[in-house]
Amino acid sequence: MSTNIIDRRRINGPQRSVEPIYAKPVVAFSGDGRADGRLPESVRPIFMRTGPISPQASSAASPSGSAYYEQGRIRISCAIYGPRQGRKANPRMGIFNCEFKYAPFSCSWKRSHLKTSDEKEIGLMLEQAVSPAIRLEVYPKANVDAFVTVIESDGKAATISAAINCISAALVDAGIELYDSVAACSVALSKDLQWVFDCTQQEEDAASCSFLMARMPSVDEVTYLLQHGKTTPKQTADAIHVCTNVSTQVYAVICRHLKETLEGKNESDQ
């Protein structure tokens, strides 16, 4: 017994200690510059990987394709299942379903682990944005399901557009027949009435209007458009114009990554 007696009041810390690393203070969003020093029209750097969720051998339960996507602090993963038999069936064409989920720890406040109506709506938006790109007529009676998990989010519109980009990459990885990849981008109207690209949560809260656009650049078709907030018709037309340019750039990034992945795959096959 006596050997177990230790002084519990003494802090048994290490001999040497170091100062903790503090988070950098974030400067509030003001008209004359962005908190992270970006230009108004610049998008946070994009990182993506296709196929992070490895298909298990001999298992129908593994995804046919997957992707991981990072854009600044936004982290999203997506898995595609199908074409497979599903709940709903249309004898003439396939159905694309999308389930969108924020992880409980993905936002500055705690998210519910149950699906909220907000998440249901974003799932619908993603379906509406991505479906026009899929050749659904070649998958009659089948379902293609996408499961999107937001690991970390920063700005609602930016997260939705990142999810769209992530799904497009995962669809290519799954080998689903597409007309084109969908590339999305978001802008918000800052205090000095300028469209600012790819806003963080803080910038979005200060903005009076947020705007989201998804398009298929090589067929030049706008597959999704969402505006929340008031603008003049001229400003909306401007937003469409600038989003067209930037979505083409985002598209180039997605395509370059997919091409590199494909080339890498071919090399390893040989």
Partner 1 sequence: MASLTLSPAEHDFITRGVESGFRSDGRGSLDRREVTLRIGMISQANGSARCRVGNLGVGTDILVGIKSEVNPWSPSDGVPENSGTIVCNVDCSPSAAQEFEGRGAEELNVELTQLLDRIFNGPQSGIDLEKLCIIPKQAYWILHVDVLVLDVKGGIVDALVWATRAALMSTRLPRVVVESIPDEDGVMQAEFDVVDDPEDMTELVGVENMPMAVTFFQIGRRFVVDPSEQEEAVSQARMTVAVSPSMDICAMQKGGVLRGFSPALLSEIMQSAQNVAREEFERFKKLYSEARSQTLDRMDEPSTGSTFLVPF
Binding residues (CB under 8 A) for partner 1: these are: 96, 109, 117-118, 120-121, 124, 127-128, 131-132, 208-209, 215-216, 220-233, 235-237, 240, 244
Give the dihedral of Cα atoms 208, 209, 210, 213; nearest 10 deg: -160
Nearer to partner 1, 53 or 167 (CB): 167
In order, the DSSP letters of 86-153 are -SS--SSS-EEEEEEEE-TTSSSSPPPSSPPHHHHHHHHHHHHHHGGGB-GGGSTT-EEEEEEEEEE-
Nearest Cα neighbor of 247 from 169, 170, 187, 176 is 187
- Minimum distance from residue 248 beta carbon to partner 1 (Å): 12
Nearer to partner 1, 115 or 259 (CB): 115
- Minimum distance from residue 196 beta carbon to partner 1 (Å): 18
How many angstroms separate the Cα of 182 from the Cα of each of 1, 224, 234, 252? Answer: 70, 10, 25, 11
Instruction: Tell me how far apart the alpha carbons of residues 225 and 212 are, in angstroms, rounded to a whole number.
Output: 6
- Minimum distance from residue 230 beta carbon to partner 1 (Å): 4
- Minimum distance from residue 105 beta carbon to partner 1 (Å): 17
Instruction: Tell me how far apart the alpha carbons of residues 237 and 137 are, in angstroms, rounded to a whole number.
Output: 33
- Minimum distance from residue 186 beta carbon to partner 1 (Å): 13
Q: Report the relative pairing of strands 95-102 and 143-152 from DSSP bridges.
A: parallel
- Minimum distance from residue 173 beta carbon to partner 1 (Å): 21
Nearer to partner 1, 63 or 132 (CB): 132
Nearer to partner 1, 103 or 226 (CB): 226
Nearer to partner 1, 70 or 204 (CB): 204
Longest dimension (CA), the chain: 83
Chain centroid to CA 153: 9
Give the dihedral of Cα atoms 236, 168, 119, 204; nearest 10 deg: -40
Nearer to partner 1, 130 or 150 (CB): 130
